[in-house]
Amino acid sequence: MGLASFLAIILAIMHGLWKIWKKLRHEGSESSDVAMAFFLCLVAYLISAIFAHMSYQRYFWLLMALSSATIHILGRVEKDTSSELGPRDRRKSPQEE
């Protein structure tokens, strides 16, 4: 039960970062880079935790908290920018041009 909850937390945060990255990468904003950076930090930490055996557990939870905050902040930024631009004012993606 504990392992399933632990993995669910990790996967939910990584999935949220991936979704935000996919939404923001077409706009060319640096916010998408922040989401991918946190995603890759989590991947790197989880790989290193295999060898370090969670010796630095407090940093893991700090990284999880920062990643979760990033999801919420970038999600709000994405909603604000999409509401500011009307349907006619949206920038065309490179595929549409």
Instruction: Compute the mean pLDDT over every residue in the chain, rounded to the nearest whole number.
Output: 84
| Percent of the chain clearing pLDDT 90 (strictly above) | 49
CA–CA distance from 91 to each of 73, 80, 87, 95, 97 (Å)?
Answer: 22, 15, 9, 11, 10
Q: By mean pLDDT, which of 29-33, 46-50, 60-64, 81-85 is the weakest? A: 81-85
Confidence band (pLDDT; 50, 70, 90) for 52? confident
Query: Residue 50: enclosing H or E segment and its boundaries?
Result: helix 31-52
Residue 91 has pLDDT above 60, yes or no: no
pTM for this model (two decimals)? 0.75
Report the sign of the C-alpha dihedral through residues 27, 93, 19, 40, in that order: negative
